[in-house]
Amino acid sequence: MDILKVAMPKGRINKPAIKLIQEAGFPIPDDLDDSRKLIISAPGAQMEFIMAKPVDVPTYVEYGVADIGIVGKDVLMEENRDVYELLDLGIARCRMSVIGLPDWTPVMNPRVATKYPNLASDYFREKGQQVEVIKLNGSIELAPLIGLADRIVDMVETGRTLQENGLVEMEEIFQITSRLIANRVSFRMKNEAIQGLCDKLQSIIAVKG
């Protein structure tokens, strides 16, 4: 059987993704994200994990240095890489929303800060609204608080960050879950291994509802 190279995101998706793969019957270590090692082999599962920054997962998969990867729908939509989206894993659920201060009044050509400039531009273009998108790399909620932007487009999970900073969700753009993606060539060359993993994950997801 082929060894599958898996691009595994560090951070919030990591733990639920490990749990799901384990539940599907693949013996992989619990503590992938605790180690400083960047390539971790799990021979019992016939897998090798490439520990990646979430935003880079689709890039590793498109270039074929990873056969498959686990990535949030948010990153997948923003990066728009040439990969197969195989499965909705149903983990790390959250949403992409337009957020602002509660007393915000509409202005011409508002500034919108976000980590997702492509996604935000597409959203407002489709709505026929002209905005100026400002790319930031983190702590996006700061932008309306300090006057950098009128609104932000960002991920909301528990809502705690918004609440603690006095911000409100104005519009939900779409729901986010993590996806299993595959390199197009790997999907053909390692089809048995990839399909086997997909089937087992799918049964676990079905059981969990």
Amino acid 172 reads E
Under rule CB under 6 A, residue 16 binds ligand PRP:
no
Q: Which pair of structure tokens corresponds to residue 54? A: 């979430």
Question: Shortest Cβ distance from residue 161 to ligand PRP (Å)?
Answer: 3
The residue range among 36-44, 66-74, 124-132, 150-158 that interacts with ligand PRP, by the rule CB under 6 A, is 150-158
Under rule CB under 6 A, residue 209 binds ligand PRP:
no
- Residue list 25-54, contact with ligand PRP (CB under 6 A): none
Under rule CB under 6 A, residue 18 binds ligand PRP:
no
Under rule CB under 6 A, residue 146 binds ligand PRP:
no
Size of the site for ligand PRP (CB under 6 A): 12
Nearer to ligand PRP, 3 or 156 (CB): 156
Which residue pairs, CB below 8 angstroms and at least 24 apart, start in 10-18?
10/51, 10/52, 10/53, 10/54, 11/54, 12/92, 12/157, 13/54, 13/70, 13/71, 13/72, 13/91, 13/92, 13/178, 16/91, 16/92, 16/178, 17/70, 17/89, 17/91, 17/92, 17/178
Q: Which pair of structure tokens corresponds to residue 128? A: 């026929």
**Range list of H helices, 104-170:** 117-126, 142-145, 160-164
Q: Could you say which of 139, 175, 191, 203 contacts ligand PRP (CB under 6 A)? A: 139
The residue range among 1-9, 99-107, 158-166, 171-179 that interacts with ligand PRP, by the rule CB under 6 A, is 158-166
Which residue pairs, CB below 8 angstroms and at least 24 apart, start in 38-45?
45/21
Q: Could you say which of 159, 168, 177, 200 contacts ligand PRP (CB under 6 A)? A: 159
Under rule CB under 6 A, residue 156 binds ligand PRP:
yes
**Binding interface with ligand PRP (CB under 6 A):** 138-141, 154-161
